[in-house]
Amino acid sequence: MQYNQNLRFPTHVLTDFDNDRLFISDTGHNRIIVASLDGEIQTLIGNGIEGMSDGSFEAAQFSQPQGLVQLGEILFAADTTNHLIRMIDLEFSNVDTIAGTGFPAGGRVDGGPALEIDLESPWDMTLIGRDLYISMNGRSQIWTYSLDSGVIQAVVGQGVQGFKDGAPEEALLLDPSAIASDEDGVIYFLDTVASAVRCADLTTSHAVWTILGNAKFDS
């Protein structure tokens, strides 16, 4: 099959070297591309029409998808402006929503069953064990989603903008975006508006600290 090779504002790329695959968030086209490592498009996930539909790859719709995480033949996508987390089954070519209602969060959000909780602009994700850690850009928080229980909750930040290190529940963030983790379970994230790189250890020291940048902006 011939695919349109053009991209529009792609934002994230994920490699699967074992299976010669790239996963690309073609954000401006509201779709996710599966390509070989040399750039040959293999599959399109989403029909390219901005929307909020689950189903087959041909029927599914996204709205500016960004962060991607792979677990075997399952791909998780932060569907940013739909305020959803989507699960993509690469074996059976199907898309399901696993978190969010499609409405942005307003006021205090305490967490709970993921499909009943309003999210706000999930941006990127990293996987630690069986938990997805999500940079919730619109809430200025880091959230976690349990693949086993289906529960989602905030674990870093107060849900208001600011710049403060310390205990995870007392820390203040400024629009976190890209997120990663190491083998010890420490989370690293870009705190975008603060122009800083910050860390969160939720297992040992239970602390948030800044490793680069200080919320002061150079010209």
The domains of the chain are located at 1-99, 108-219
Q: Say if residue 65's pLDDT is above 70.
A: yes
- Cα–Cα distances in angstroms (integers) from residue 207 to residues 91, 155, 193, in the given order: 39, 11, 21
May I ask the CATH architecture of the domain 1-99? Answer: 6 Propeller (2.120)
46 within 8 A of 31, measured Cβ to Cβ: yes
Residue 109: pLDDT band by 50, 70, 90 thresholds? confident
Hey, is 111 helix, strand or coil? coil
Instruction: Give me the CATH topology for the region 108-219.
Output: Thrombin, subunit H (2.40.10)
**Average pLDDT of span 62-84:** 98
**Average pLDDT of span 113-142:** 97
**Average pLDDT of span 96-125:** 93
Hey, is 18 helix, strand or coil? helix
**Average pLDDT of span 6-20:** 96
For 68-90, the DSSP string reads EEEETTEEEEEEGGGTEEEEEET
**Average pLDDT of span 35-39:** 95
Residue 106: pLDDT band by 50, 70, 90 thresholds? confident
Instruction: Decide if 1-99 and 108-219 have a common fold.
Output: no
Q: Which of 117, 121, 99 is nearest to 108 (CA)?
A: 117
- Cα–Cα distances in angstroms (integers) from residue 3 to residues 13, 26, 39, 60, 77, in the given order: 18, 13, 12, 17, 21
- How much is the mean pLDDT over the chain? 95
Q: Which pLDDT score, from 0 to 100, does residue 5 have? A: 75
Q: Say if residue 66's pLDDT is above 90.
A: yes
Q: Say if residue 1's pLDDT is above 60.
A: no
Q: Which pLDDT score, from 0 to 100, does residue 110 have? A: 77
CA–CA separation, 4 vs 117, rounded Å?
36
